Amino acid sequence: MRKLKNEELGRKSLEEFRSGKKMPVIVVLDDVRSMHNIGSVFRTSDAFSVEKILLCGITAQPPHREISKTALGATESVSWNYYVTISDAIEALKSEGYKILCIEQVEGSIDLADFVPEQNVKYAVVLGNEVNGVSQSVVDSCDFCLEIPQFGTKHSFNISVTAGIVLYDLTQKFTK
């Protein structure tokens, strides 16, 4: 085996990425405190070619040095918008025909492995605050909740890890 060089990876230019086909998913960050998490979600969203990121509430916005550290330029490739409240973001998404799903541990949640996206449906994935998760009022406004099974003592993932798991899973399901 030989490690590939950067020029062998087939990376898209910024223009190719912006105009290229996207996974029909918008990531919504609600009151995410850590700018490193925000930057990591941008970078992961670039890797999986999500449509857009919505930053809500206290979630910091680019440009910011701490976000850039982990985003590594993804704030330039991935489209994003800011909403003062998540309820405004969800209202806008619903008016545009998105199904809203959150990643949270709730009664009646769907195991991520069992989720099958519908054809020709656009989804918005809500990730909540690092400490409190997705608020109950947001859970109430979602079409359904997905849960990542966990088997240890913590029963929580870092938001950037959650984004990676969920977006990888959705990418696999959308490309089949």
pLDDT at 60 over 80: yes
In the beta sheet, which residues pair with residue 25?
123
Q: CATH topology for 21-147+157-174?
A: Alpha/beta knot (3.40.1280)
Instruction: Give rounded-to-5 percent helix, strand, coil for the chain.
Output: 40, 20, 40
In the beta sheet, which residues pair with residue 110?
146
pLDDT digits 0-9 by tens, 120-151:
999 999 999 999 999 999 999 999 999 999 99
Look up residue 78 and give its DSSP letter.
S
In the beta sheet, which residues pair with residue 53?
27, 80
Structure confidence at residue 176 (pLDDT):
77
Average pLDDT over residues 155-163: 95
Contact (Cβ atoms closer than 8 angstroms) between residue 36 and residue 152? no
Domain extents in the chain: 21-147+157-174
Contact (Cβ atoms closer than 8 angstroms) between residue 126 and residue 119? no
Structure confidence at residue 55 (pLDDT):
98
- Residue that has been written with the tokens 């704030």 in this structure: 75
Structure confidence at residue 30 (pLDDT):
97
For the entire predicted model, the pTM comes to 0.97
Average pLDDT over residues 78-96: 98
Q: Return mean pLDDT, the chain.
A: 97
pLDDT digits 0-9 by tens, 5-45:
999 999 999 999 999 999 999 999 999 999 999 999 999 99
Kindly calculate the radius of gyration of the chain based on its CA atoms and give it in whole angstroms: 16
Q: Cα–Cα distance between 4 and 103 in angstroms, integer?
A: 35
